[in-house]
Amino acid sequence: AGESEEMGQAGHLRLRDITLSRIPHLRSFVNDALLDVLYFMSPAYHQVILDEVAAEMNRTVTLFRQHTRNFNGKISVAAHSLGGVILFDLLANQESIVEYAEVKARESSDPRLQHLKYAHTSYPRLSFPVVNLFALGSPIAVFLMVRRQHQALHREFRLARCLRMYNIFHPYDPVAYRLEPFIRSQGYEPEADILPTWQGKFRVHYQ
């Protein structure tokens, strides 16, 4: 009773207030995983998520540089699942680090790239360039298709503020998808490279 009164006084519903009680483990998984995707695709939360992620990345890099003033290395980032989509969006819509004006002009006017931007979104600027983006088990390709990116990107496509991107996935990961078809010509489906473990070995079923 007290909990219901608190909810009424605050005037805000919580996710557990609308969740059915049957199959609780499955519903918990849906609430924890799939709803993140819906939040990210929602106009009400999409901008907030991008702003918060960019602000935290800038804060972390600034703090690191304050404590390691002699650091002159390069920065790489790793992102898992939906995080890969968020960073792909941020890095694809930054101010370009490509020096040649004609390349930037061609990319900005290319109709094949028109769906990389999410409608009515202002992309926050990162205070540093990224050398490598490691997307781990990420559904980036599905998000591109949902945004009607049905044409392949040209072979010279690059993330505006990132030099290289690696799409890393486990073959049995139901959330991961291939990105190569967006770059390669149709009908070309190369086998994925198998990565060794941290010990330099391969798992038993790959040996």
Q: Which tens digits make up the pLDDT trace of 65-76? A: 999 989 999 999
Q: Within 13 Å and on the Cβ side, how many CA atoms surround 123?
A: 20
Q: What are phi and psi of 87, to 5 degrees?
A: -70, -35
Residue 109 clears pLDDT 70, i.e. is over it? no
- Mean pLDDT taken over the chain: 79
More confident position, 57 or 146: 57
What pLDDT sits at residue 52?
Answer: 96
**What's the CA gap between 114 and 167, in Å, rounded?**
22
Predicted structure pTM score: 0.75
**Band (106; pLDDT cuts 50, 70, 90):** very low
Q: Are 13 and 3 in contact (CB under 8 A)?
A: no
Closest CA to 173 of 93, 84, 64: 84
Q: Position of tokens 């390691």?
A: 68
Structure-block tokens of residue 95: 């101010």
What pLDDT sits at residue 188?
Answer: 59
Residue 132 clears pLDDT 90, i.e. is over it? yes
Question: For the chain, what percent of residues have pLDDT higher than 70?
Answer: 73
Q: What does the DSSP 8-state code read for residue 134? A: E
